[in-house]
Amino acid sequence: MRWLRMRDRDGRPRYARVDGDAARPVDGSPFGEWRDHGEPVALDAVDWLPPVQPSKVIALWKNFHALAAKQQQTVPAEPLYALRAPSSLSAHRQPVLKPASYDGAVFYEGELALVIGRTMRAVAAADARAHLLGCTIANDVTAMELITRDPSFAQWSRAKSFDTFGALGPWIDTDFNWTSASVHTRVNGRERQNYPLADMIFAPPELLSQLSHDMTLEPGDVILCGTSVGSLPMRPGSEVEVEIDGLGILANRYG
């Protein structure tokens, strides 16, 4: 099943399930009981919202063998991550805005995102899938030059937490199988990233397990699995699409 969030005709946030070429609104949510309620809306007419409202967003760094090799870095022994502000999230087809307080390079990062469905605390990798609601697509936009601007402190969270920098969507797929899929990022129609998710250093079950031993993961929390080679700066006006085979396309305009 695929779930999305949208604004209804009265401007209220609603969950809806994808039914062919339409979104069918529900009372309730994918995290509990729900029932169909209201008239379906054509997908091309949906007023999109980020598919979840998380308590936290965890962004992985250096989680692909190919990127570690290209950067001549060692493979990490444990997940390396930063926290992205939940207020930074934006939806499918919403603009990613250039910050007024930062004039440096802004990079796209096409990624797989995991959405927690049940509370996780110190869960074994073998049991992790039962706690996952499903998968969505992310553009983990990053103000890259901020990270090392002050040599005394790496500003990972600030670099990722500007409003609209966390593009997420268009929906959550509860049945998606990541094992044979690839991520394709296109900028103005030109493919810039094409990498297999099977190259992850920490695959989703192990990643979820290790993170749940660090902190409690709540329903709706989002884990960005990291990106691989091909991440580059965007120019204002760029149209960016992140496609994951079998999952869909997330589209946003920068600037």
pLDDT tens-digit profile of 55-100? 999 999 999 999 999 999 999 999 999 999 999 999 999 999 999 9
Please say whether the beta carbons of 244 and 133 come within 8 A: no
Residues 146 and 247 in one domain: yes
What residue has token string 């007419």? 45
How many residues are there in the chain? 255
Token pair belonging to 76: 């990490």
Residues 29 and 113 in one domain: no
Residues 64 and 136 in one domain: yes
Containing H/E element for 67?
Answer: helix 65-70
**Taking the alpha carbons of 52, 57, 58, 59 in that order, is the dihedral positive or negative?**
positive
Rounded CA gap, 209 and 42, in Å?
Answer: 38
pTM of the shown model: 0.97
DSSP class of residue 51 equals: S
Rounded CA gap, 40 and 26, in Å?
Answer: 10
**Range of the structural domain that residue 42 is part of:** 1-48
Inform me whether the pLDDT recorded for 9 exceeds 90.
no
Residues 44 and 54 in one domain: no
Rounded CA gap, 84 and 166, in Å?
Answer: 8
What CATH number does the domain containing 182 carry? Answer: 3.90.850.10
Domain count along the chain: 2
Residues 32 and 123 in one domain: no
Inform me whether the pLDDT recorded for 44 exceeds 90.
yes
Instruction: Give the pLDDT of residue 188.
Output: 98
What CATH number does the domain containing 34 carry? Answer: 2.30.30
Query: How would you label 122-132 residue by residue, b for 16+ Cβ within 10 Å and e otherwise?
Result: ebebeebeebb
Residues 84 and 30 in one domain: no
Among candidate residues 48, 65, 87, the one where a domain is terminated: 48
Residues 23 and 81 in one domain: no
Residues 137 and 12 in one domain: no
Residues 132 and 229 in one domain: yes
Instruction: Give the pLDDT of residue 143.
Output: 98
Who wins on pLDDT, 71 or 120? 120
Rounded CA gap, 146 and 142, in Å?
Answer: 9
What residue has token string 């934006």? 90
Residue 90: strand pairing partners: 167
Residues 1 and 117 in one domain: no
Rounded CA gap, 243 and 186, in Å?
Answer: 8
Instruction: Give the pLDDT of residue 55.
Output: 98
Residues 115 and 222 in one domain: yes
pLDDT band at 241 (very low <50, low <70, confident <90, very high): very high
Rounded CA gap, 3 and 146, in Å?
Answer: 35
What are the tens digits of pLDDT across the range 123-169? 999 999 999 999 999 999 999 999 999 999 999 999 999 999 999 99
Rounded CA gap, 46 and 38, in Å?
Answer: 14
Residues 11 and 34 in one domain: yes
